[in-house]
Structure 1
Amino acid sequence: MDKLQQSIYTLLFFFLSFAGLYFAAAFLIPVALAAVFAMLFIRLCNWFENKGLSRTLSSLLCMLIFIAAIALIVTLLSWQLSGLAENMDAMKQRVVNLLTNLQNWLHEQVGITMRQQKELVKQQSEGAGSGAGSMLANFAGSIMGIMVNTILVLVYMFLFLANRSHIKKFILKLVPVDEKNTAANIVHQAGKVAQQYLSGLGAMIVMLWIMYGIGFSISGIESAIFFAVLCGILEIIPFIGNLTGTSITVLAAIAQGGDSKMIIGVVVTYALVQFIQTYILEPLVVGEQVNINPLFTILVIVLGEMVWGIAGMILAIPLLGIVKIICDHVPELQPYGFLIGTEKQRGKKTGVIDKIKGLFNKKP
């Protein structure tokens, strides 16, 4: 009965935690993003400190490197987008031709006349026009909110890096003396998981840029680098990002007047890159730092989107990896850590990467 009561209390704790995360999203999202990014730069910050720099200066340099990396990506996208804008008139004309062909098809197959179609479009336009002012205000508010949150993330990130020892000491003061070593180990492993996962994800995205860029260039897509970078960045959002990026590229190919060969080339590139990513890059580059089974990977992504939107989808996997580490080290929560994780089969090497490693690990 005690175990049942304890399980009920644990589930109630998780339920109240998710409710708190949902209602405090506006405050917690910048804090969580900054904390995860700060974990990514802890190793680099330590390297700067070992070279004789102060912790404040090291944290500032890490933040400047982070800003420079984002600025480089934005500059690359803007440069490619400017080249794409030069052909915008031709693309608009092709889209108009596609819409005209669609209207003709509706008239021939469904029986909706051109006049009826124009009236439907006019009604929709009038309905949309009535709310155009509110839409513009909402858009301006969203842009302002993004700018404010970006500044907050940068400030929080700097403060987390500069005060990380103070925060760690605070966490250790919360636990009894005989459990300080366990708590210190949890903090160390949690930071290590976030570092390895995010650094591996960053390296994998760069490789995806190269592969998508080669594939889209061979397919004949205009501004192939732009769509390659876009598809790679969208990989940050698991499952949904790659489909979204490829769908945008296919639509761009159609708008550019591409024939079936171009569209097939984009689809083949997507399939080939996904195969390489799933069976080679993820096990080799990202590895098993976040040891979560596929069921809970999907569940936490869906839950993250419901609680925090796109930011929740990005943070879901590394945060669940940290939660799993905590569960694995707390006896009362170990069943939940076992449920979230994967059951390792010792002695069996079935993956492609395991077989490749086995070739190099064979003793003469």
Structure 2
Amino acid sequence: MKPETASTGSPQPVALFADLRQIRTLLTGLFILGSIYALYFSRDFILPVILAFLLALMLTPIVRFLRRRGIPEPLSATLLVVISVTLIFGTGYFLSGPVIDLANNASSIGYRLTERLAELRHPFDRLMQISAEVQRVTQSTQEPGVQRVVMAQPGILSQAASNVLSAGTTAAITFVLSLFLMASGSMFYEKIVQSFARMSEKKRALRIVYDVEREISHYLLTVALINGGLGLAIGLGLWAIGMPNPAVWGVAAALLNFLPYIGAALTIILVTIISLITFPSFAFALVAPAYVLACDIIEGQFVTPVVVGRRLEINAVSIFIAVAFWSWLWGIIGALIAVPLLVVIKVFCDHFDSLRHIGNFLAAQQSHDSEEVAEEAK
């Protein structure tokens, strides 16, 4: 007589499917880890490529507008790239002096800030003494024959030269590649259409590509203009208040505002520090950070939701995770492009039924179905 399991035949397929699911899960995990590993060690190549695509997407509406006015795409793309390079490097050169002065005076700024906050430091004096005693005891208990080994670090000049060379290479690749992307016109769309056999698939692919590009281009260009306006308003307001180097804080506010919540908080903290050591009165020193806070509230609660729309808003949890991940992976540049990359992923996922649940997870607003499920669960 045959065994019962062989007659039914059910345990073997179930076990086989379970093994296949485990293998697929394992392969997916390995693929994710391998992708993170590749992104980290190939950042010198991938980072300028992503920056070039984001810059090209941001400037594409202007290229299309100029094309409808009779200006060919290669000419308009070249003009926009030249203007972008001039604006970025001109602003950097103009602000290099004040930024270098702030860096050189960092120690004195810290000392003056400590003096202003001396009355708030007393509760922490005992804790600092305990920490110093623990460090002294730890060093004294070290064995006399043991030597401390310190790895020699590269000199400051060599590090600076390496950073300048790397930044220059990244900028060159970014601007040249973005120029080619914008000047190529509809070449990529033609290649996408040629990749499909049936006409219905060609139309659907072309519609999705155009929708994704239009929404992302609109978002990036609009947010860049809004951040520029925010920086201009903050810079002019701080100049009227009497803050030193108001242009530096305006540019810093515009750049840091690409980091929702985090960027505004960093701007307020920096302005508060400089304001406390600049103005003798505590009450007047709080005017500058209060003005920055008011500008951030108006921009975040009124201007951006009205102009950009709430459909492209990302929930705060996803933003914090993305900023932490990309800043760990690619540093400050990764942190600045974290939210634009999230928007790109969300828009792309919203156009595919199989990926729509990812776009819904990234969205700031609950969908109608999720609200009904939440009400039923209650």
- The equivalent residue for 2:160 is 139
Pair 1:245-2:267 in alignment:
yes
- The equivalent residue for 1:22 is 40
Cα gap change, 1:198 to 1:72, in 2 (>3 Å):
farther
Pair 1:167-2:188 in alignment:
yes
Structure 1 range deviating more: 157-166 or 96-105: 96-105
- The equivalent residue for 1:269 is 291
Q: How far apart are residue 62 of structure 1 and its match?
A: 1.8
Cα gap change, 1:66 to 1:112, in 2 (>3 Å):
closer
Pair 1:41-2:59 in alignment:
yes
Cα gap change, 1:210 to 1:135, in 2 (>3 Å):
closer
Structure 2: distance between partners of 1:337 and 1:130:
46
- The equivalent residue for 1:353 is none
Structure 2: distance between partners of 1:64 and 1:101:
46
Structure 1: distance between partners of 2:128 and 2:26:
60
- The equivalent residue for 2:145 is none
Q: How far apart are residue 31 of structure 1 and its match?
A: 0.5
User: Residue 171 of structure 2 aligns to which amino acid in structure 1?
Assistant: T
Q: How far apart are residue 100 of structure 1 and its match?
A: 7.5
- The equivalent residue for 1:359 is none
- Between the two structures, name the one with larger relative contact order (CA 8 Å, sep ≥ 6): 1
1:169-208 correspondence to structure 2 within 5 Å? 169-177=190-198, 178-208=200-230
For the residue of structure 1 that corresponds to 2:243, the secondary structure is coil
Structure 1: distance between partners of 2:72 and 2:128:
72
User: Residue 192 of structure 2 aligns to which amino acid in structure 1?
Assistant: I
Q: How far apart are residue 339 of structure 1 and its match?
A: 2.2
Paired residues of 1:59 and 1:161 also in contact (CA < 8 A) = yes
**Number of residues paired by the alignment?**
331
- The equivalent residue for 1:31 is 49
Q: How far apart are residue 95 of structure 1 and its match?
A: 6.1
Structure 2: distance between partners of 1:22 and 1:98:
38
- The equivalent residue for 2:174 is 153
Structure 2: distance between partners of 1:272 and 1:33:
31
Pair 1:287-2:305 in alignment:
no
User: Residue 138 of structure 1 aligns to which amino acid in structure 2?
Assistant: Q
Structure 1: distance between partners of 2:41 and 2:196:
28
Pair 1:303-2:325 in alignment:
yes
Cα gap change, 1:140 to 1:222, in 2 (>3 Å):
same
- The equivalent residue for 1:350 is none
Paired residues of 2:74 and 2:183 also in contact (CA < 8 A) = yes
Paired residues of 1:197 and 1:289 also in contact (CA < 8 A) = no
Structure 2: distance between partners of 1:101 and 1:54:
59
Q: How far apart are residue 110 of structure 1 and its match?
A: 5.2
Structure 1: distance between partners of 2:26 and 2:310:
31
Pair 1:50-2:73 in alignment:
no
Residue by residue over 1:36-89, the C-alpha shift from the partner in whole angstroms, topping out at 9 and shown as x without a partner, is 11111112212333333333222211212222332453355358x39x969x99
* TM-score of the aligned structures, taking structure 1 as reference length: 0.74
Among candidates 310, 317, 335, match of residue 357 of structure 2: 335
Among candidates 208, 214, 223, match of residue 245 of structure 2: 223
- Mind listing any 5+ residue stretches in structure 2 that lack a counterpart? 1-13, 137-147, 370-378
User: Residue 300 of structure 1 aligns to which amino acid in structure 2?
Assistant: A
Cα gap change, 1:100 to 1:296, in 2 (>3 Å):
closer
Cα gap change, 1:102 to 1:111, in 2 (>3 Å):
farther
Structure 2: distance between partners of 1:204 and 1:322:
18
Cα gap change, 1:262 to 1:223, in 2 (>3 Å):
farther
Among candidates 79, 82, 93, match of residue 64 of structure 1: 82
* TM-score of the aligned structures, taking structure 2 as reference length: 0.72
- Mind listing any 5+ residue stretches in structure 1 that lack a counterpart? 121-126, 347-364
- Indicate the percent of aligned positions where both proteins have the same amino acid: 20
Structure 2: distance between partners of 1:335 and 1:139:
45
